[in-house]
Chains A and B, each alone.
Chain A
Amino acid sequence: MAAIRSLDHPLRSDEDVVRARQLARQWAIELGFSLVDQTKIVTAASELARNTILHGGGGAMRLEMLDEGARRGLRLTFEDQGPGIVDIEQALKDGFTTGTGLGLGLSGSRRLMSEFAISSQAGLGTRITTVRWR
């Protein structure tokens, strides 16, 4: 799957989350996503960017414009070198939280995007890859 453009954005502070939302919005607009789809993508980006900071101790978001010929999409990848997710299935349940949040970040983001994959190793970090096709 060819990425026609990509960008890495660091995630360390609240300002970085704001910037991540802005970047996701810009790229979604450029790809021609509808307003509702833009909002879903930006909301998912916001949830996952905040998770990267809160649970992963910071990391990065990679944006990629995908072109498969018949369809185009936006891939967002969130990576951290934090403690990792021990039980991914449990982490994906609505309402499950290790912190003070609502436990909707992961499960909700998965519903907002077309594709969603987590790879995580205890002690090594977490990578979450999401795609929204249009």
Chain B
Amino acid sequence: MGQIRDTSATGVLIDISALDVVDSFIGRTIGNIAAMARILGAETVVTGMRPAVAITLVELGLSLEGVRTALDVQRGMEMLQRPDPAKGGRGRHP
């Protein structure tokens, strides 16, 4: 969070491609990071979620509301450089 302030970051990217399981504890942690980042004016994108993890999360009932997702880090970075259409966000224009 200090880094967001120090660098005036407008985006936070969390890559979870190494995780073979995401339970509600990890899901809550990701949601908390996104909520704190949002208050500091930065948008969070979660990238690299494995298909089996996505299927399981939906069945678990965890929707990761307020967190955008992208297939991989490159697409995530591109997403952060565009404003969020859902929120009229403040992402940087290229």
A-to-B contact residues, CB < 8 Å: 21, 25, 35-36, 38-40, 42-43, 46-47, 50, 94, 101-102, 104-105, 107-109, 111-112
Number of A-B contacts (CB under 8 A): 59
List residues of B (1-46) whose CB comes within 8 Å of A's CBs.
20-25, 27-28
CA of A102 to CA of B23 in the docked complex: distance in angstroms? 11
CA of A47 to CA of B50 in the docked complex: distance in angstroms? 19
A47 and B23 contact, Cβ closer than 8 Å, known pairs A36-B52, A39-B53: yes
Residues of B within 8 A of A46 (CB): 21, 23, 25
Contacts A36-B56, A104-B24, A108-B61 supplied; 11 other A-B pairs, CB < 8 Å: A39-B50, A40-B59, A43-B23, A43-B60, A47-B23, A94-B61, A101-B28, A102-B28, A102-B62, A111-B61, A112-B60
Residues of A within 8 A of B59 (CB): 40, 108, 111-112
B-to-A contact residues, CB < 8 Å: 20-25, 27-28, 50-53, 55-56, 59-62
A104 touches B60 (CB 8 A): yes
Q: Which secondary structure dominates where chain A touches chain B?
A: helix
Q: Which secondary structure dominates where chain B touches chain A?
A: helix
Q: Which 10 A-B pairs have the closest CB atoms?
A: A108-B60, A39-B52, A46-B23, A104-B24, A36-B52, A39-B56, A102-B24, A35-B52, A104-B61, A108-B61
Closest to B53 in A: A39
A36 and B55 contact, Cβ closer than 8 Å, known pairs A104-B62, A111-B60: yes
CA of A21 to CA of B69 in the docked complex: distance in angstroms? 25
Residues of A within 8 A of B23 (CB): 43, 46-47, 50
Residues of A within 8 A of B60 (CB): 43, 47, 104, 108-109, 111-112
CA of A40 to CA of B56 in the docked complex: distance in angstroms? 6
Among B50, B51, B61, which residue has its beta carbon within 8 angstroms of that of A107?
Answer: B61
Residues of A within 8 A of B51 (CB): 36
A101 and B61 contact, Cβ closer than 8 Å, known pairs A38-B52, A39-B55: no
